[in-house]
Chains A and B, each alone.
Chain A
Amino acid sequence: MTMMATAQKVTCVEIGGIPIALSTCDDAFLDLLRQRYDGFLSASPPEFELGFDLTRTGPASDDDVRVRREGDEWLVERGDFHARLNPRTGRGSVRQNANPYSLDSVMRILHSLIVAERGGFLLHAASAICDGRAYLFSGASGAGKTTMTRLAPADVTLLTDEISYLRPSADGYAAFGTPFAGELAKAGENCTAPVAALFFLEKGPENRVDELPPAEGIRRLMRNILFFAEDQDLVEKLLATACDFVARVPIRRLTFYPDARVWDEVRDFERNFHGVPEHA
């Protein structure tokens, strides 16, 4: 009888305070994981373990992703990858080719499922820490998310220019840095801060901050949350989370002229804002 053993190499990546062990027997892919998530590598005991099985399927795909429950497991499928995760045991597997875009997609989607069960969510938004508080900047493509991060003064810490990671905390919500980069092609810093406000961006001739009615806040928030699961329980949880977020975090429309003065407006908002949101 021939006995064979394949050595698995493991690296632990902690995004949003959730350490996940990623294992592969491919040295080149391990290097890719470590480079891609440099700054988010962790020595914490992993809460989840994902084994990667590399295939020769096509490049990253624009196909719609399908996310559904199959027994205890989450099943995530797109043309370029197939992933399973059992949230009860914490174990899962991913079959994909070695391209980093498929890898990022898998990681984003799995995190969106894990964090949704914990009352958080991933938001299509840039975020940054200014004076110890996190500000989120969301909006449609071209609204100015990357522009806001480019205009940020030197003392502002970039959390992400693309995908913000939000989790509930004792006094509201906390934003975490992510390695998921957009146009800026630069990972965020691996740190966290309490959320001061969510701004929906619109470019205009001058800088101004306007209130948004709560229903409009929810509408815009839901439009920008990354969520793919076909699952009744998780949909109910997400909607409850979104309503809670709108009740606890000030949500405003930030019309801005794209120069550095817009950050004065951001700083002034926190200085002028006292107490809880009006619609809490």
Chain B
Amino acid sequence: MPENCIYIARSSGIAARALAGEMMVMNSADSTFFTLNEVATAIFQAADGRTPLQEIVRDRICGQFDIDLEQAQADAEQFVTELSGHGILLVSNQPLASEAP
């Protein structure tokens, strides 16, 4: 297992729906609403708590979108930090059980 692995999981306190390639996410704690673009949606959907973020970026982002790996990893970490701050994603350096169905 690589050092400094980040694991991400979707929080149970959210409602999410995909529409026209974008993900609509609402936090039930404070009713804040987010729309995720295609790349962010790919990360959100892959947030199973078991797959390291680095692997998600390599396989799901760089594999499908024309993005440089280093830049994609930096963007993904910033995105994950932002969404975890709003209670949408859970972040850990150990595998997590995803709360969302």
Binding site for B on A (CB under 8 A): 213-215, 218-219, 222-223, 227-232, 234-236, 238-240, 242-243, 246, 279
Contacts and interface: CB of A to CB of B under 8 A. Distances in A.
Task: Label chain A's interface by main secondary structure.
Answer: helix
Interface string B3-23: 000000000111111011110
A239 B24 contact: yes
Nearest to A228: B31
B35 A239 contact: no
B15 A236 contact: yes
A47 to B, nearest CB: 25
Contacts of B30: 230
A251 B14 CA distance: 26
A242 B15 CA distance: 12
Given A228-B31, A230-B29, 15 more contacts: A215-B19, A215-B24, A219-B24, A219-B35, A222-B24, A222-B26, A230-B28, A230-B31, A234-B28, A235-B26, A236-B15, A236-B28, A240-B15, A240-B17, A243-B24
Task: Label chain B's interface by main secondary structure.
Answer: strand
Given A232-B13, A235-B15, A239-B15, A214 B20 contact: yes
A231 B28 contact: yes
B12 A243 contact: no
Contact of B19 (A214, A228, A236): A214
Contacts of B65: none
A229 B28 CA distance: 8
Interface residues of B, number: 19
A6 B41 CA distance: 59
B27 to A, nearest CB: 8
A198 B33 CA distance: 20
Nearest to A279: B20
Contacts of A227: 31
Nearest to B16: A239
B14 to A, nearest CB: 8
Contacts of B14: 235
A215 B22 contact: yes
A232 B15 contact: yes
Contacts of B26: 222, 235, 238-239
Contacts of B19: 214-215, 218, 243, 246
Contacts of A213: 20
A229 B17 contact: no
Contacts of A215: 19-22, 24, 35
A235 B31 contact: yes
A214 B23 CA distance: 12
B25 to A, nearest CB: 9
A246 B24 CA distance: 13
Contacts of A230: 28-31
15 contacts: A215-B19, A215-B20, A218-B24, A218-B35, A222-B24, A222-B33, A232-B28, A234-B28, A235-B26, A235-B28, A239-B26, A240-B15, A242-B24, A243-B17, A279-B20
Nearest to B21: A215
Contacts of B16: 239
Nearest to A230: B29
Given A218-B24, A222-B26, A239 B31 contact: no
A26 B30 CA distance: 36
B90 to A, nearest CB: 16
